[in-house]
């Protein structure tokens, strides 16, 4: 072991309280950063899930849809080719503005003597590299999901059947009461709806989510319409403004929290370490003067301080990562129950913890170390005179 390392270790042990405080500061900082990183990621996942559960907020309709009829009926009477979804998905920059593209065919029909809304849902298309998660329900062909009032009127339960335009569909699920037109809706696979309605290869709209996540005051609609006019000139888009605005506000709030928490944690840790480093230098002024009197070079003296900080940084980084992960895994599921299962240890954080923490600690100690080597040994060593 060389001179510097030996002396760092001996001094570290001798100044146990200072070393412990510095280690606690570094461990605390990395613990906070790791936990904040994992928990903000969890919070963002939770937010995404919650806002996703708010449902689609964009409806892409055939351009010739009569808005009056659309709002009175609740669906477009016009149709688009079903491959419009794949064309839209293949467009340049589509997923900057739109996501979760879901082809839908919707009509008012009579089932078992009762009027209802038949909604055929196709497979959802998501952006490249994203996990495919259906926004609504994934409907297996040959099955149906029935709104609560409709199910009651038809007298069907799960496992029963409904007749739709001469086709028998097994009831896979009866939906809970929503208090909206969902209660008189009959969901089927898109192919079943197309067959039942005699509209093979057609859809009445594409439901989607707006990815821009701009709040109402940021006026997102012109941007969305501009994007769609480039990608799909034969369509028009309607934004469900209240939903989109709530979603955007929720996501922006979540991002603001993340953007605040991480740098704030870093700042507090930096100040803490800086104060401890300065105190350490002040305590060791005489020793520094002595090393200089003995002819020890400035670089070696600085190495005593920076080396100590870096060593403690490495140790604090490893401990902080472990404790931060434990904290996040212990309390994360309580804070974010919906996405609790997604909370996992992130080995990708150990690398930065082990490299950045020593560098950060050394950088925080740099100023005091420079003070140490530049201070006048005469001031600290002289008795008087």
Partner 1 sequence: MDDAMNTPLIEASGLTRNYASKPGVVAGVSDLSLRVERGEFVVIQGASGSGKSTLLLLLGALLRAERGTLRIDGVELTRLNAIERAQYRARSVGFVFQLFHLVPYLSVHRNVLSGLPPGVAVEPTEADRWIDTLGLTERRDANPATLSAGERQRVALARALVKRPPLILADEPTGNLDPDNAARVLEHLDHYRRAGGTVVLVTHGSEANRYATQRLRLEAGHWAIPSAFPSFNDSAS
Interface contacts to partner 1, rule CB under 8 A: 3, 7, 10-11, 13-15, 286-287, 289-290, 292-298, 300, 376-378, 381-385
135 neighbors 100 (Cβ within 8 angstroms): yes
Q: Rounded to the nearest whole angstrom, what is the least distance from the CB of residue 286 to partner 1 in the complex? A: 6
Q: Smaller CB distance to partner 1: residue 262 or 290?
A: 290
* CA gap 166, 159 in Å, rounded: 18
Closest to partner 1 by CB, 3 vs 71, is 3
CB 318 to partner 1: min, Å? 25
> Which of residues 17 and 383 has its CB atom nearest to partner 1 in the complex?
383
Q: Closer CB to partner 1, residue 287 or residue 346?
A: 287
Smaller CB separation from partner 1, 212 or 381:
381
By C-alpha distance, which of 296, 272, 231 is closest to 96?
231
Determine the Cα–Cα distance for residues 225 and 215; give it in Å rounded to an integer: 16
Q: Where are the alpha helices (DSSP H) in 284-297?
A: 285-293
CB of 273 vs partner 1, minimal distance in Å: 21
Show the beta-strand stretches assigned E in the chain: 58-62, 80-81, 98-111, 114-121, 143-146, 161-164, 167-174, 185-189, 202-203, 205-210, 235-239
Nearer to partner 1, 229 or 283 (CB): 283
Phi-psi map region of 110: left, alpha, beta (phi>0 left; psi -120 to 50 alpha) = beta
| Residue 251: both structure tokens together | 């996501």
Least distance from C-beta 362 to partner 1, angstroms? 21
* Closest separation in Å from C-beta 287 to partner 1: 6
Q: How far is CA 221 from the centre of its chain?
A: 24
Task: Determine how β-strand 114-121 pairs with β-strand 185-189.
Answer: parallel
CA dist., res. 203 & res. 194, Å (int): 8
In the complex, what is the shortest distance from the CB of residue 12 to partner 1, in angstroms, rounded to a whole number?
A: 9
For partner 1, give the closer residue by CB, 59 or 292: 292
The CB-of-372 to partner 1 minimum distance in angstroms stands at 14
Of 297, 329, 317, the closest CA to residue 358 belongs to 317
Q: Is the Cβ of residue 159 or residue 385 nearer to partner 1 in the bound state?
A: 385
Least Å from the CB of residue 17 to partner 1? 13
Q: How far is the CB of 380 from partner 1 (least distance, A)?
A: 9
Instruction: Give the nearer residue to partner 1 in terms of CB position, either 13 or 233.
Output: 13
Q: What angle do CA 50, 53, 59 make, to 5 degrees?
A: 130
- Residue 139: how many other CB atoms lie within 10 Å: 25
Per-residue exposure over 29-68, b if at least 16 CB sit within 10 Å of its own CB, e if not: bbbbbbbbbbbbbbbbbbbbebbbebebbbbbbbeebeee
């Amino acid at each position: 072991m060389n001179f510097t390392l030996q002396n760092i270790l001996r001094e570290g042990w001798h100044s146990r309280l200072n070393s412990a405080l510095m280690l606690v500061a570094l461990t605390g900082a990395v613990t906070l950063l790791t936990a904040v990183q994992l928990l903000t990621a969890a919070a963002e996942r939770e937010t995404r899930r919650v806002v996703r559960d708010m449902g689609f907020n964009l409806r892409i309709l055939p351009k010739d849809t009569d808005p009056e009829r659309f709002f009175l009926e609740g669906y477009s009477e016009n149709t688009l080719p079903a491959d419009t979804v794949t064309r839209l998905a293949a467009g340049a920059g589509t997923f900057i503005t739109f996501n979760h593209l879901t082809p839908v065919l919707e009509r008012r029909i009579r089932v078992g003597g009762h009027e209802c809304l038949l909604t055929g849902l196709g497979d959802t298309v998501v952006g490249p590299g994203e996990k495919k998660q259906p926004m609504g329900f994934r409907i297996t062909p040959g099955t149906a999901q029935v709104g609560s009032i409709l199910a009651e009127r038809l007298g069907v339960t799960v496992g029963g059947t409904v007749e739709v335009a001469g086709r028998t569909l097994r009831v896979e699920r009866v939906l809970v009461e929503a208090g909206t037109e969902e209660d008189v809706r009959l969901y089927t696979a898109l192919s079943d709806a197309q067959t039942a309605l005699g509209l093979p290869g057609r859809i009445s709209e594409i439901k989607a989510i707006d990815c821009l996540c701009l709040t109402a005051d940021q006026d997102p609609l012109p941007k969305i319409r501009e994007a769609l006019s480039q990608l799909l000139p034969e369509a028009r888009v309607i934004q469900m403004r209240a939903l989109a605005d709530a979603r955007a506000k929720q996501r922006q709030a979540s991002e603001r929290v993340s953007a605040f928490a991480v740098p704030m944690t870093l700042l507090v840790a930096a100040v803490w370490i800086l104060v401890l480093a300065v105190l350490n230098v002040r305590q060791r002024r005489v020793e520094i003067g002595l090393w200089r009197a003995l002819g020890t070079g400035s670089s070696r003296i600085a190495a005593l301080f920076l080396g100590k900080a870096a060593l403690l940084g490495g140790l604090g980084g490893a401990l902080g990562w472990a404790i931060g992960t434990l904290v996040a895994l212990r309390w994360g599921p309580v804070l974010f129950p919906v996405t609790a299962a997604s909370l996992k240890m992130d080995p990708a954080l150990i690398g930065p913890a082990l490299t950045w923490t020593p560098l950060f600690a050394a950088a925080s100690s740099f100023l005091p170390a420079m003070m140490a080597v530049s201070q006048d040994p005469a001031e600290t060593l002289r008795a008087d005179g």
